[in-house]
């Protein structure tokens, strides 16, 4: 059983990387990918913990990407999470998020809520802060009855306290993952906003032409019918198939680590092709004169 989509306290998950790996071990996962939003801050700790726990750890990230219909999430697998160009761009996203959080807090306060950044930070477990933490802080203060109410009334896109964050274009995000030797996989296609399957197919074909490698066909929130449709699209477009739960711990209490398809675990057989694609992207990066592995670099 494997799970290729999980979050830690480095973004908006509630388990530290070590706790997540320990949970994966107890769950009996053969492999786990750590895919935090716009950060690889949890990967090094997870890699270390996984080596001791006997779990295969796939280093990953989940980037927010802009497309004309809205935002989608792009998973990057087997990236060199020490790549300096990659880290530089991710740092830029983090700095933008930091500024955006401050603007959102001012709006929250101006709307009459007595909330401080410290109280929001207290919900984050020390990692990157985002709207889920603001929602939890509003809940704790009794301003809303649930996290969902905080989004629906205030924080969701289009609601009065929302401030957009900088996002990458699909081409840039795919290229960024490739240049760090990684595999680019479109996350939870369920959340893409296309009116018809044909519209989805042509968007996917366009992203495939831009280098997209795979599609997260198996996902904890996909119905059987959706899964079948995505598997068919992946076949038609020669995209890799992956699967993950999107485990976040307490902020998504219904999502269980390892449960990725209709209550069952992710199939071990998904890992081989992904790993192969990772090796191919790493080789491509090397022949393109990409960065040498940190150990070979010496002093610069």
Interface contacts to ligand AMP, rule CB under 6 A: 37, 130-132, 148, 151, 156, 165
Please give the Cα distance from 199 to 197 (Å, whole number).
5
Q: In this chain, which residue has its C-beta nearest to Fe ion?
A: 73
Closest CA to 168 of 40, 30, 62, 55: 62
Q: In this chain, which residue has its C-beta nearest to ligand AMP?
A: 130
> Which are the contacts of 57, defined by CB distance < 8 A and separation ≥ 6?
21, 31, 32, 33, 34, 46, 47, 50, 51
Given the rule CB under 5 A, which of 12-20, 45-53, 137-145, 291-299 is the region that contacts Zn ion? 12-20
Please report how close the Cβ of residue 69 comes to ligand AMP at its closest, in angstroms.
15
Please report how close the Cβ of residue 97 comes to ligand AMP at its closest, in angstroms.
7
Q: Report phi then psi at 75, rounded to 5.
A: -90, 140
Q: Considering only residues 8, 42, 73, 278, which one is a binding residue for Fe ion as defined by CB under 5 A?
A: 73
Residue that is written with structure tokens 């913990």 in the block: 49
In order, the DSSP letters of 137-186 are HHHHTTSSSSHHHHIIIIISTTSTT------B-HHHHHHHHHHTT-EEEE
By the rule CB under 5 A, 222 interacts with Fe ion: no
Q: Are 35 and 5 in contact (CB under 8 A)?
A: yes
Residue that is written with structure tokens 């269980």 in the block: 256
Q: Which does 260 bind (CB under 5 to 8 A by kind): Fe ion, ligand AMP, Zn ion, none?
A: none
Q: Considering only residues 12, 45, 213, 216, which one is a binding residue for Zn ion as defined by CB under 5 A?
A: 12
Specify the residue, 44 or 156, whose C-beta has the smaller distance to ligand AMP: 156
Structure tokens at 231: 């598997």
Specify the residue, 5 or 178, whose C-beta has the smaller distance to ligand AMP: 5
Given the rule CB under 5 A, which of 6-14, 87-95, 204-212, 262-270 is the region that contacts Zn ion? 6-14
Chain residues binding Zn ion by CB under 5 A are: 12
Residue ranges that bind Fe ion, judged by CB under 5 A: 62, 73, 187, 246
């Amino acid at each position: 059983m494997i799970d290729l989509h999980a979050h830690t306290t480095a973004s908006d998950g509630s388990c530290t990387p070590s706790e997540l790996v320990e949970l994966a071990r107890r769950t009996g996962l053969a492999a786990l990918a750590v895919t935090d939003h716009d950060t690889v801050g949890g990967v090094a700790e997870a890699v270390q913990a996984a080596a001791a726990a006997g779990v295969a750890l796939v280093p990953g990230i989940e980037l927010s990407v802009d497309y004309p219909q809205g935002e989608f999430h792009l998973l990057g697998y087997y990236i060199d999470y020490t790549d300096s160009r990659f880290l530089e761009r991710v740092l830029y996203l983090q700095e933008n998020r930091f500024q955006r959080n401050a603007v959102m807090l001012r709006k929250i306060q101006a709307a009459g809520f007595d909330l401080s950044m410290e109280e929001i930070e207290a919900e984050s477990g020390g990692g990157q802060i985002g709207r889920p933490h603001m929602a939890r802080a509003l809940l704790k203060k009794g301003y809303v009855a649930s996290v969902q109410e905080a989004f629906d009334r205030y924080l969701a896109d289009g609601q009065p306290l929302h401030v957009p964050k900088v996002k990458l274009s699909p081409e840039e995000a795919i290229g960024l993952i490739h240049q760090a030797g990684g595999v680019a996989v479109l996350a939870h296609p369920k959340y893409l906003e296309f009116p018809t399957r044909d519209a989805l197919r042509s968007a996917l074909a366009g992203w495939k032409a831009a280098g997209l490698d795979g599609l997260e066909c198996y996902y904890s929130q996909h119905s059987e019918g959706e899964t079948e449709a995505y598997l068919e699209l992946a076949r038609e477009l020669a995209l890799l198939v992956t699967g993950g739960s999107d485990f976040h711990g307490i902020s998504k209490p219904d999502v269980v680590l390892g449960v990725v398809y209709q209550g069952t675990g992710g199939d071990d057989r998904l890992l081989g092709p992904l790993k192969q694609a990772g090796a191919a992207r790493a080789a491509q990066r090397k022949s393109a004169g990409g960065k040498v592995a940190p150990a070979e670099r010496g002093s610069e």
